[in-house]
Amino acid sequence: MTRHGRSVDAALDGALRRPLVLASASPRRADLLAQVGVEFEVRASELEEDGPAEGAEPGPVAAGHARGKALSVAGAMPGRLVLGADTVVVLDGSILGKPDGPEEACEMLRRLSGREHRVITAVAFALGGGEDAVLLAEEQVATRVLFRELSDREIEAYVATGEPLDKAGGYGVQGHGALLVRGIRGCYYNVVGLPLVTVWETLMELGYEGRELGD
């Protein structure tokens, strides 16, 4: 975590008295923040995410997207603390993004069947200030997920639910996709899209602990 002097510290003190801003349209991330009682509002980032270059390292890709989302929203919200996040699914060193359609979703799930993969979520916190928006902290969390062996019939039935089509890797562990997963090593919430403990610990480091919003 980087601190940037007294002026930023004073602005951060004020920002912590107001609801956090979530720079994401993901209902799953919003549900997780609400679950643990963090007061927040949603301001989805309009940042266009470039597809990763061939051979790109997954962690830096996720971190770059999370950072970009946080800073783009913070630029329009002076005096507010903004959270950006990005999740990638990694198999054999390659990033599996959101499938383009049912066919690609089926192919992703066939590749994941019976195998272990990684889910990496990067989070970034930025302090709003127009062109002077400041990145305060960023973290990455990795979780290992093991799929059971899936039949083509199971894969096709799951894809027919529509659930995989807007999710990295083509599945959602918090929905019907729970039946695809044999085991998880690491943070479950990270697989859903937001590592709650890491987010909470970073908020406390920034000064959120013990703060009554609206004081």
Q: How does pLDDT run across 150-161, given as a tens digit for each residue?
A: 999 999 999 999
Q: Is 50 a catalytic residue?
A: no
On whether residue 30 sits in a domain, the answer given is yes
Domain hosting residue 21, numbered range: 6-206
Interval 157-175 mean pLDDT:
95
Q: Which amino acid is at 81?
A: L
pLDDT band at 30 (very low <50, low <70, confident <90, very high): very high
On whether residue 211 sits in a domain, the answer given is no
On whether residue 202 sits in a domain, the answer given is yes
pTM of the predicted structure, to 2 decimals? 0.89
Dist CA 157 CA 53 (whole Å): 32
On whether residue 213 sits in a domain, the answer given is no
Catalytic residue among 31, 50, 86, 100: 86
pLDDT at 185 over 50: yes
CATH number of domain containing 20:
3.90.950.10
On whether residue 214 sits in a domain, the answer given is no
Domain count, the chain: 1
